[in-house]
């Protein structure tokens, strides 16, 4: 059995991020394909919120080393203020020093054949780069999404830090992986000398977890009897998933009589920005349609997806090269999907290819007013579009892990 050192900030018991699923499911499935994972993560004190609900999904014999780390904003600030350099490239940069030390100890003890690090915590790639330099091992850098983008990060010094880490990583990693074709295309154009080392490794869903959640979904046959429940599960980012035009459209539909009170509930599960949603609901006089709910354990969140009448995606055009990880869980839930996103983006393309073609631009009140009533009517009449079965089967986490194992085998061959 070959061994892989996996560097990931997002790992149980971290709570509140769907990004945790990518690493966790790779850890679960890699041994089936000849690779034993060794995990290097952060001390739980660095996490804003923790939960034990996914700890049981970590295979019992998996080596997990949690290196000392602090959150600059919570642990190193005075009266809510801290030195910017102490949070660059991110608030967990303190993780690097202990992680490099512990990583080298793991390399000496377990002698892995390769290193893997994963964004969106940029410090993880800094750790991967240093361990690769010291050990000489092949390194796969899992970017998931683009790092340095136009206008992101907003702080110029942080952007410069991101850009330097990005360039160093792409040039020194054996492979750089991205979750969408659009993101991979950007990096092939940005770093033409490394074009062949940029590959797509999409997100997915975990079938075993869905099977376990199915019984809970059956127990709650309807989330809101008599009303269509449209569920948005996960964070509502004010810039990347701005719901303003959606809420305005709901207000217009209500004013015209096209949306009656009691006919629709839009449930936001674990939005993180409930205050924003409630203020917008009050502004457009649609409070009766909006239901903000707190985070729940992962399996309960999946059960809720299975029980919802429809699932809501929100993704702005400034994220056209990104696909929310929950999209694949939405597909597996086999419920009608309403996508408020740019039709030209990767999110819309992936959903269309899977047979989910109810799409309107997130920033277009007019399009939402046209698409939403038809979507609700189709659900009520039992003729709503459901995802294509083959597209769903192709998106399993086990299949994605098999692809990762092939990539690992290829870098050893090099």
DSSP 163-186: HHHHHHHHHHSSEEEESSHHHHHH
For residue 153, say if its preceding peptide bond is cis, omega within 30 degrees of 0.
yes
User: CA-CA distance, 90 to 87, in Å (whole number)?
Assistant: 5
Neighbours of 84 (CB within 10 A): 11
Q: Give the per-residue pLDDT at 105.
A: 98
Q: Give the per-residue pLDDT at 217.
A: 55
Same domain membership, residue 187 and residue 215: no
Q: Which two tokens stand for residue 184?
A: 């991979």
Q: Which domain holds residue 140?
A: 2-203+396-413
CA distances from 189 to 160, 161, 182 (A): 19, 20, 11
User: CA-CA distance, 263 to 288, in Å (whole number)?
Assistant: 10
The two most distant CA atoms of the chain are separated, in Å, by 69
Same domain membership, residue 182 and residue 109: yes
pLDDT in tens, 264-291: 999 999 999 999 999 999 999 999 999 9
Same domain membership, residue 380 and residue 304: yes
Same domain membership, residue 211 and residue 166: no
Q: Give the per-residue pLDDT at 132.
A: 98
CB 361 within 8 A of CB 342: yes
User: CA-CA distance, 153 to 150, in Å (whole number)?
Assistant: 8
User: CA-CA distance, 26 to 140, in Å (whole number)?
Assistant: 14
User: CA-CA distance, 43 to 9, in Å (whole number)?
Assistant: 9
Same domain membership, residue 230 and residue 164: no
Same domain membership, residue 281 and residue 371: yes
Return the DSSP state at 81: B
Percent of the chain topping pLDDT 90:
85
Q: Give the per-residue pLDDT at 219.
A: 46
CA distances from 218 to 212, 311, 380 (A): 11, 17, 19
Same domain membership, residue 211 and residue 187: no
Residue in the block written with tokens 């061959």? 413
CATH code, domain carrying 49: 3.40.50.2000
Q: Which of 171, 168, 177 is nearest to 193 (CA)?
A: 171
For residue 126, say if its preceding peptide bond is cis, omega within 30 degrees of 0.
no
User: CA-CA distance, 378 to 116, in Å (whole number)?
Assistant: 45
Q: Which of 266, 254, 268, 262 is nearest to 230 (CA)?
A: 266
- What pTM does this model have? 0.82
Q: Which two tokens stand for residue 102?
A: 């512990």
Neighbours of 95 (CB within 10 A): 28
User: CA-CA distance, 321 to 150, in Å (whole number)?
Assistant: 13
Same domain membership, residue 404 and residue 304: no
- Name every residue whose Cβ is closer than 8 Å to that of residue 181 and which is 6 or more positions away in sequence: 200, 346, 349
Q: Give the per-residue pLDDT at 265.
A: 97
How many domains does the chain fold into? 2
Q: Residue range 400-405: average pLDDT?
A: 96
Neighbours of 275 (CB within 10 A): 10
Same domain membership, residue 252 and residue 141: no
Same domain membership, residue 385 and residue 343: yes
Counts for the chain of helices (H) and strands (E), in that order: 15, 13
Same domain membership, residue 193 and residue 229: no
- Name every residue whose Cβ is closer than 8 Å to that of residue 72 and which is 6 or more positions away in sequence: 82, 86, 87, 91, 92, 93, 94
- Sheet of 139-144, strand order: 63-67, 35-42, 2-7, 114-118, 139-144, 175-178, 198-200
pLDDT in tens, 335-348: 999 999 999 999 99
CB 273 within 8 A of CB 16: no
CB 265 within 8 A of CB 223: yes
**Local confidence band at 220 (pLDDT 50, 70, 90 cut-offs):** low
CB 47 within 8 A of CB 12: no
- Report the range out of 37-41, 87-91, 154-158, 322-326 with the highest average pLDDT: 37-41
DSSP β-bridge partners for residue 50 = 14
Same domain membership, residue 406 and residue 390: no
Among 125-139, 207-221, 295-309, the minimum mean pLDDT is found in 207-221
Q: Name the burial class of residue 11, with classes exposed (0-12), middle (13-18) and buried (19+) by CB atoms within 10 angstroms of its CB.
A: buried
């Amino acid at each position: 059995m070959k061994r892989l050192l996996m560097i990931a900030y997002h790992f149980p018991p971290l709570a509140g991020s769907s990004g945790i699923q990518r690493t966790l499911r790779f850890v679960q499935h890699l041994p089936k394909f000849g690779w034993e994972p060794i995990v290097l993560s952060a001390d739980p004190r660095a996490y804003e919120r923790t939960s034990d609900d996914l700890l049981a999904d970590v295979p019992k014999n998996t080596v997990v080393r949690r290196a000392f780390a602090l959150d600059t904003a919570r642990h190193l600030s005075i009266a809510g203020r801290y030195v910017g350099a102490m949070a660059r490239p991110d608030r967990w940069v303190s993780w690097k020093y202990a992680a490099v030390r512990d990583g080298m100890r793991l390399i000496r003890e377990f002698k892995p054949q390769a290193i893997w690090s994963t964004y969106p915590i940029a410090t993880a790639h800094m750790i991967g780069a240093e361990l690769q330099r010291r050990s000489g091992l092949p390194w796969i850098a899992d970017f998931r999404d683009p790092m340095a983008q136009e206008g992101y990060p907003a702080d110029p010094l942080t952007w410069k830090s991101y850009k330097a880490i990005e360039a160093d990583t792409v040039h020194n990693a054996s492979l750089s992986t991205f979750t969408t074709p659009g993101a991979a295309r950007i990096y092939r154009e940005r770093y033409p000398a490394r074009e062949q080392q940029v590959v797509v490794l999409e997100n997915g869903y975990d079938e075993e977890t869905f099977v376990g959640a199915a019984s809970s979904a059956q127990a709650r046959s309807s989330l809101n009897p008599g009303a269509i429940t449209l569920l948005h599960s996960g964070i509502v980012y004010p810039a990347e998933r701005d719901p303003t035009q959606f809420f305005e459209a709901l207000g217009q539909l209500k004013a015209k009589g096209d949306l009656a009170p009691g006919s629709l509930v839009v449930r936001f599960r674990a939005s993180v920005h409930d205050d924003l949603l409630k203020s917008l609901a009050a502004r457009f006089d649609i409070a009766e349609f909006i239901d903000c709910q707190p985070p729940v354990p992962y399996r309960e969140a999946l059960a809720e997806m299975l029980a919802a009448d429809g699932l809501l995606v929100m993704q702005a055009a400034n994220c056209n090269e990104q696909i929310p990880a929950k999209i694949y869980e939405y597909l597996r839930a086999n419920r009608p999907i309403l996508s408020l996103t740019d039709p030209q983006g990767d999110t819309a393309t992936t959903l269309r290819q899977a047979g989910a073609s109810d799409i309107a631009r997130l920033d277009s009140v007019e399009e939402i007013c046209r698409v939403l009533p038809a979507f609700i009517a189709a659900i009520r009449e039992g003729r709503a579009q459901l995802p294509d079965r083959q597209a769903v089967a192709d998106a399993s986490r086990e299949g994605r892990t098999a692809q990762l194992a092939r990539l690992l085998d290829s870098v050893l061959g090099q």
